[in-house]
Amino acid sequence: FDERREDHLEFRPLDPWYRFHFDDGQQFDYRPGIEDTNDEIARFDKGDIKGYARLLKTSKAIFEVGFEKLADKPFTRFGSMLAQIPALLRLRSYRTVAGLVNSHIKHPLLRQAFSIHPLLVGGNPFTTTSIYALIHYLERQWGVFFCMGGTGKLVAELHNLLHRAGVNVELGVDIEQIEQQGQLVTGAVATDGRRFTARRVICNGDPPTVYRQMMPQERRRKKALPDSLTQYSMGLYVLFFGTRRSYEDVAHHTIWMGPRYRELLADIFDRKILADDFSLYLHRPTATDKSFAPDGCDSFYVLCPVPNLLGDVDWDVEGPALRDRIVAALGRTIMPDLEKTITEDFWMTPEDFLNDYRSMHGAGFSIAPLFIQSAWFRYHNRDPHISNLYFAAAGAHPGAGMPGVLCSAKVVERLIEEEERAHTGG
């Protein structure tokens, strides 16, 4: 496009990156400076300073393979996976993130802080492959930023960029079916009956939903991985609210940890029950960008990991009840008198993820980031039998989260470029 991001968007660095609030009242600021982070670690256990250095060294080694060599490379052939097995074994990628962190960090609260990253992409730290420990080094390599104006501003500027490049973007179109003739897709049909013909279809929807609900009837379920062989990511309960006062002591990103860690994750991922306790991610964009609320006010959202819809939770009942419990918990700890200061609020449950985003079982991040659901074992970026159907999505390689989905798009770009070169002989 020959344009600079800096001319359209401001990415502002954050400090701290995250603030952890633990159940015993202690706080830990995870900061961009190594020395600052070490000072924070020392308040819990000075011995873990060396352990954190070892963890970062291991994370760098994983990053150099898992991100630089694998994340934006296609795994459309099993041979491409086999070629990487020796490197993955050397890195002991069969270990979990929690197992890796616990081998370096001894303090129980720091173990929690340094192992939560899989939750950012929908995974249980106690089952997610340690490949995802690369996030530690990724953050050290490039930092943690906030896009001024928020994700909405980012999307708007991408839309403007496409418009300047002559790309037509149609909004508010609900695609009902992908049409197929033989071994090729020919386009898509919207719910209003309109047909869009295409040489290629690039889908950013949830692959299980696409294969089960949007392909021609006779080709549906056999294309999707069966539920009996698939593990899905957790569900999400997201509470949005504004306050008539400003909570200046609350950081931009806060991880609010409840009284249980591993046991709570087992309730969410394995038993799929909504427990009485919870842990939370609290986002306060007004800490960095005052445009998110009127003067003297604040805006927030809270993300609470919950079971996906494979669990038996009545969200019509539990949605309002969970809202009240979360507000009460934050009011008792880091946000005094919260209930009295809230001006507006609304929430989303896994039911909304199912209905609004067509996410299978209302999962927040498609299929879970397990070793056996990574790379070639994940949904491919190009369908193995339909050569012009592509996926740039959380459920496809390499996985969920903004970096993962952007890498997924890079894989698709590479596949299409290779196909074009082969077609033109270039």
Residue 425 has pLDDT above 80, yes or no: no
Percent of the chain beyond pLDDT 70? 97
Give per-residue pLDDT as tens, 170-214.
999 999 999 999 999 999 999 999 999 999 999 999 999 999 999
Instruction: Report the pLDDT value the prediction gives residue 58, as an integer from 0 to 100.
Output: 95
**Contacts of residue 28, Cβ cutoff 8 Å, sequence gap at least 6:** 19, 20, 22, 40, 43, 44, 109, 110, 113
Can you tell me the distance from the alpha carbon of 274 to that of 193, in angstroms, rounded to the nearest whole number?
40
What is the arithmetic mean of pLDDT over 369-378? 88
Percent of the chain beyond pLDDT 90? 84
Instruction: Report the pLDDT value the prediction gives residue 225, as an integer from 0 to 100.
Output: 66
pTM: 0.94
Band (pLDDT 50/70/90 cuts) for residue 223 is low
Can you tell me the distance from the alpha carbon of 238 to that of 362, in angstroms, rounded to the nearest whole number?
13
Tokens in use for 276? Answer: 């009485």
Tokens in use for 48? Answer: 């873990």
The strand order across the sheet containing 175-181 reads 175-181, 184-190, 195-197
What is the arithmetic mean of pLDDT over 392-400? 94
For 12, phi then psi, to 5°, come to -100, 125
Can you tell me the distance from the alpha carbon of 220 to that of 230, in angstroms, rounded to the nearest whole number?
16
In contact, 392 and 381? CB cutoff 8 Å: yes
Band (pLDDT 50/70/90 cuts) for residue 228 is confident
More confident residue, 359 or 84: 359
Nearest alpha carbon to residue 381 among 412, 403, 356: 412
